[in-house]
Structure 1
Amino acid sequence: MMRTRPLKVALLGCGVVGSEVARIMTTHADDLAARIGAPVELAGVAVRRPDKVRGGIDPALITTDATALVKRGDIDVVVEVIGGIEPARTLITTAFEHGASVVSANKALLAQDGATLYAAAEQHGQDLYYEAAVAGAIPLIRPLRESLAGDKINRVMGIVNGTTNFILDKMDSTGAGYQEALDEATALGYAEADPTADVEGFDAAAKAAILAGIAFHTRVRLDDVYREGMTEVTAADFASARQMGCTIKLLAICERAADGESVTARVHPAMIPLSHPLASVREAYNAVFVEAEAAGQLMFYGPGAGGSPTASAVLGDVVAVCRNRLNEATGPGESAYTQLPVSPMGDVVTRYHISLDVADKPGVLAQVATVFAEHGVSIDTVRQHGRQDGDGEASLVVVTHRAPDAALSGTVEALRKLDTVRGVASIMRVEGE
């Protein structure tokens, strides 16, 4: 039987995502009520600009006092889609204190201070759900927290930022340069006016911290994630990748060490084989590849951003939290029992693709090979060809076998000091093999 008293939802933020959440709650009210077992009512919407016209939302619900809204006491669920650290953190913890569960899409806050939110939720017996914080509409957080809770996850690798994937895909498919592809992404609305958070990897790094914490049952903060942006990727890099049967993606990679005693989390551009499932992810789509001990290899794919996809994830969490509330129960909280340390990037074992501009004369290759040997790095393949312009330089491309990243970085620094090396044109890791 359906309970007649509605569950009340407070919405913090009414931008692209928040307005879509409100719209779906209104237009699908009967379906949501049937799925939950009780009506769901939008009880208030906190905004910064109350005079803005918001179609489909009763103006009487609009308030600029978010604190008063979450303190009301009759609110069952607070949906936080304002983003940032403050006032979001204070509003969320205040909601817990006043008896409300929280659904959030705030990746930055969860990555920086998720432990505080988890602790507050547990202290007050409330739920904290955040499916929309990573990969938009793709069901990912719940499978990691619940469906794979009985398994051991060893690796999570994915494309978790649609803007960067769009740019790299255009560079690959059309031969465009970085700036040209970025301009197209901006014109189509995929890139913000200031794309720094996306193209420098900050957005993906926050998501990597969240994914690593869930996958490995340990606390991983944003500061623990190694990060490189993709602004230095060139058309020449894509040409080299094609020669290797690869493409280039900005990847978030979270791994358990071979001995199981530590974890790593990193974001950087990388070459991956065209045969890898992530290589075929096009346009602004996201995809995450999970490797688990018992389940094997799993792939999660779909739209990773936008108002409707993100609102879908938010409302999925609202339904789950409301069901828990009716059953006087709570869902999974923080699982950080392993307390594994996060190793630095230098400990990661990976491969490098290194493109060098060198003097076009005998003995250069031997000098370069000696530097690799001195740093304990084994060479897989070498390609060298002279320049057509007759400037006395040649291009030398070296692909290494797997080695600690610190050894590879040390090799590159030593190469820069060789008189015969005129410049290091590009360095890129090779993943997914």
Structure 2
Amino acid sequence: MKNMVSIGLLGVGVVGSGVISLIEQHQAKLAHQLGCNVHVKSALVRNPNKTRDVDAATNGTVLTTNPDDVLNDPEIDVIVEVMGGIEEAREAILKAFEAKKHVVTANKDLVALYGAELHEAAARNKCDFYYEASVAGGIPILRGITDGFASDHIEQLLGIVNGTTNYILTKMHHESVSYEDALKEAQELGFAEADPAADVEGLDAARKMAILGRLAFSTYIDLEDVDVTGIEGIELEDLQHGDNLGFTMKLIGFAKFDGKQVEVNVEPALISKDHPLADVKNEYNAVYVYGEAIGEAMFYGAGAGSMPTAAAVISDVVTVIKNMHRGVTGSQFVEPRFKKELKPVDQRFGQYYIRFHAKDEAGVFSRISSLFNEFDISFKQILQNPSKEADTAEIVVITHRSSLEKMQQALGALNKLDEVPDIKSFYKVEGDAEA
């Protein structure tokens, strides 16, 4: 057993600084758990003179601008990649595996796009590859799925896996501020980037759901398999109507597997206030798991930030070192059990929220109801309010369970009615659908 395990760090930004700090702060605990010391020997940076949240030199970490100083150092056992980006990180990790070094990463973009390739490279070189911090920050959801549900069949996942959008929707719902004002505040507080597109357009959440679905269902899920809708078009009226009907709006990652076909999507959805996800507010994340044996379970916590994410990274480092001591590194990768088969729209079922304007005339709503009946869609809840436009009513309905295909066909037919000037909103309803 080695007395010292040396870490090579790629990136000393917010998360990298947290990794150095936590390792140094918890040396005694790590030594007790592992029977050896752990040290960040060297770190790759772009500017060694930049002011950082941690003084690497004080902790004995050597900063370098040459990746080979880290990747080719024979004394370094584990590479921790927290520099972000995709192609540069992918190249560095592949080089690390070729050098027989184990890898831990927090890079969700990389894992979502190249996870299969990197797993295969790790297995080929008998190396470990872990990425707990790539989804939901400090929440141990990946280990929970792979280990905690090892003997169970996961049927469905519902996830709030993007803190930026959850913060924005929380502000809109509870303070009745506009999307634009809520986004601006999120940027001022550092929850949203100057360019928030990846968050508000749903891409960040989609990458995380691809990773979650891949592990939960033991099948390859590519990013392009995830249907994505962001939150940019959400209006306060929909949050207010949803509230009146007993719902709150969340950007939900949804993944379902029936043993043969899989569906994965990310979209704004109305969640019943009785559902635990409805109480997940601000920048927090949560993943709700439906298991055949365990029933329902929820993982909740901080979805981002220096210390929560760094803690998840170090948890993976601890796992790697334990595997090194046991001589079982490179053995965790298991080929997917199921061939990917995506569920078609006629087999995707749910309840739906629709808001539209209609002429305020006798017989109009009867014609609308008849139209939906043609597609075997019935209404569970209905609201009718005066519209700002003369002789027009605003109608809000929540349907009973229907296939997505029939719902899309009904919306197409509704859009062609002369009595319906426009369809304002269409959202899925979760936590209230009939079995």
Native 8 Å contact 2:359 2:392 kept in 1? yes
User: Compared with structure 1, are the counterparts of its residues 188 and 95 closer, same or farther at alpha carbon in structure 2 (3 Å cutoff)?
Assistant: same
Question: What is residue 288 of structure 1 aligned with on the other side?
Answer: 287
Aligned AA for 1:323? K
In the alignment, structure 1 residue 411 sits paired with structure 2 residue 410: yes
SS in 2 for 1:264: strand
User: Compared with structure 1, are the counterparts of its residues 60 and 153 closer, same or farther at alpha carbon in structure 2 (3 Å cutoff)?
Assistant: closer
In the alignment, structure 1 residue 299 sits paired with structure 2 residue 298: yes
Which aligned pairs between 1:99-114 and structure 2 lie closer than 5 A? Answer: 99-114=100-115
Aligned AA for 1:11? L
SS in 2 for 1:111: helix
Question: What is residue 35 of structure 1 aligned with on the other side?
Answer: 33
Q: TM-score, normalised by structure 2?
A: 0.95
Question: What is residue 264 of structure 2 aligned with on the other side?
Answer: 265
Question: What is residue 69 of structure 1 aligned with on the other side?
Answer: 70
1:212-268 per-residue CA deviation (whole Å, 9 max, x = no partner) reads 0111011111111110001111110111111211101101111013xx211111100
Structure 1 position 51, deviation (Å): 2.2
Question: What is residue 391 of structure 2 aligned with on the other side?
Answer: 392
Partners of 1:269 and 1:193 in 2: how far apart?
A: 22
Partners of 1:359 and 1:35 in 2: how far apart?
A: 70
Question: What is residue 12 of structure 1 aligned with on the other side?
Answer: 10
1:173-200 per-residue CA deviation (whole Å, 9 max, x = no partner) reads 1111111111111111111111111111
Question: What is residue 83 of structure 1 aligned with on the other side?
Answer: 84
Question: What is residue 349 of structure 1 aligned with on the other side?
Answer: 349
SS in 1 for 2:94: helix
Which aligned pairs between 1:18-167 and structure 2 lie closer than 5 A? Answer: 18-54=16-52, 55-58=54-57, 61-167=62-168
Partners of 1:180 and 1:299 in 2: how far apart?
A: 31
Native 8 Å contact 1:156 1:253 kept in 2? yes
Native 8 Å contact 1:112 1:222 kept in 2? yes
Partners of 1:383 and 1:264 in 2: how far apart?
A: 31
Which aligned pairs between 1:316-327 and structure 2 lie closer than 5 A? Answer: 316-327=315-326
Partners of 2:92 and 2:278 in 1: how far apart?
A: 40
Aligned AA for 1:414? A
Partners of 1:201 and 1:398 in 2: how far apart?
A: 25
Partners of 1:325 and 1:202 in 2: how far apart?
A: 35
In the alignment, structure 1 residue 221 sits paired with structure 2 residue 219: no
Structure 1 position 4, deviation (Å): 5.4
SS in 2 for 1:219: coil
SS in 2 for 1:305: coil
Question: What is residue 197 of structure 2 aligned with on the other side?
Answer: 196
SS in 2 for 1:99: coil
User: Compared with structure 1, are the counterparts of its residues 60 and 428 closer, same or farther at alpha carbon in structure 2 (3 Å cutoff)?
Assistant: closer
Structure 1 position 66, deviation (Å): 1.6
User: Compared with structure 1, are the counterparts of its residues 390 and 133 closer, same or farther at alpha carbon in structure 2 (3 Å cutoff)?
Assistant: closer
Aligned AA for 2:271? I
Partners of 1:254 and 1:390 in 2: how far apart?
A: 40
248-257 vs 343-352, which deviates more?
343-352
Native 8 Å contact 1:67 1:91 kept in 2? no
Partners of 1:344 and 1:65 in 2: how far apart?
A: 48
1:351-374 per-residue CA deviation (whole Å, 9 max, x = no partner) reads 111011111111211221232123
Q: TM-score, normalised by structure 1?
A: 0.95
Identity %: 41
Partners of 1:428 and 1:319 in 2: how far apart?
A: 42
Gaps of 5+ in 1: none
Native 8 Å contact 2:221 2:340 kept in 1? no
User: Compared with structure 1, are the counterparts of its residues 73 and 17 closer, same or farther at alpha carbon in structure 2 (3 Å cutoff)?
Assistant: same
Partners of 1:74 and 1:349 in 2: how far apart?
A: 54
User: Compared with structure 1, are the counterparts of its residues 311 and 345 closer, same or farther at alpha carbon in structure 2 (3 Å cutoff)?
Assistant: farther
In the alignment, structure 1 residue 360 sits paired with structure 2 residue 360: yes
Partners of 2:203 and 2:12 in 1: how far apart?
A: 24
In the alignment, structure 1 residue 379 sits paired with structure 2 residue 395: no
1:334-359 per-residue CA deviation (whole Å, 9 max, x = no partner) reads 44112231225564211111011111
Structure 1 position 167, deviation (Å): 0.7
Question: What is residue 430 of structure 2 aligned with on the other side?
Answer: 431
Which aligned pairs between 1:244-263 and structure 2 lie closer than 5 A? Answer: 244-257=245-258, 260-263=259-262
Structure 1 position 67, deviation (Å): 3.8
SS in 2 for 1:333: coil
Partners of 2:100 and 2:25 in 1: how far apart?
A: 27
Native 8 Å contact 1:154 1:256 kept in 2? yes
In the alignment, structure 1 residue 369 sits paired with structure 2 residue 369: yes
Partners of 1:200 and 1:390 in 2: how far apart?
A: 31
68-77 vs 141-150, which deviates more?
68-77
**What stretches of structure 1 move > 3 A for 4+ residues in a row?**
344-347
Aligned AA for 2:131? Y
SS in 2 for 1:421: coil
In the alignment, structure 1 residue 420 sits paired with structure 2 residue 414: no
Native 8 Å contact 2:3 2:35 kept in 1? no
76-85 vs 199-208, which deviates more?
76-85
Native 8 Å contact 2:251 2:267 kept in 1? yes
Aligned AA for 2:295? G
Partners of 1:182 and 1:147 in 2: how far apart?
A: 36
User: Compared with structure 1, are the counterparts of its residues 341 and 125 closer, same or farther at alpha carbon in structure 2 (3 Å cutoff)?
Assistant: same
Gaps of 5+ in 2: none
Aligned AA for 1:273? S
Structure 1 position 296, deviation (Å): 1.1
Partners of 1:143 and 1:162 in 2: how far apart?
A: 20
